[in-house]
Amino acid sequence: MERVDARGLSCPEPVILTRKALLGGAKEYEVLVDNVTSRENVTRFAEHAGYTVRVSEKDGEYTLSLKK
């Protein structure tokens, strides 16, 4: 599973990094973000790109599991 570590980055950077990773065409990704805006934006982008997104949260950090 490919991993995108976007913790500490502000939008739109997490979405740009996710978009870049998705160009690889893998079925599963894990995206790490640490703010709600990035969580929302990456989720919206991934869903538009045809992935289902599952979110888990720990200590203010979010792990977004993207699956196609």
Partner 1 sequence: MSKSGKFDIIIAGLIIGVIASLLVLFGNPANMGFCIACFIRDTAGALGLHQAPPVQYIRPEIIGIILGSFAIALAKGEFSPKGGSAPLTRFAIGFCVMIGCLMFLGCPFRMIIRLGGGDLNALLGIAGFVLGILTGVFFLNKGYSLKRTYKLAATEGGIMPAVSVVLLVLLIAAPAFIHFTQPEGGPGAKHAAIAISLIAGAIVGILAQRTRLCMAGGLRDVVLFHDFRLISGFCAIFCACLVMNLILTAATSGTYFHLGFTGQAIAHTDGLWNLLGMYVVGFGAILLGGCPLRQLVLSGEGNTDSAMAVLGLLVGAAFCHNFGLASSGEGPTANGKIAVVICICVLAVIASVNTFAKNDS
Catalytic positions, please?
A: 11
Query: What is the separation of C-alpha 23 from the centre of its chain, rounded to a whole number of angstroms?
Result: 13
Choosing from 24, 25, 50, 60, the residue that interacts with partner 1 (CB under 8 A) is 60
Choosing from 32, 43, 51, 66, the residue that interacts with partner 1 (CB under 8 A) is 43
Q: Which residues contact 47 (CB under 8 A, 6 or more apart)?
A: 53
Q: Using the rule CB under 8 A, is 9 a contact of partner 1?
A: yes
User: Exposure pattern of 2-13 as b/e (b: 16+ CB <10 Å)?
Assistant: eebebeebeeee
Residue ranges that bind partner 1, judged by CB under 8 A: 7-13, 15-16, 19, 35-37, 40, 43-45, 47-48, 60
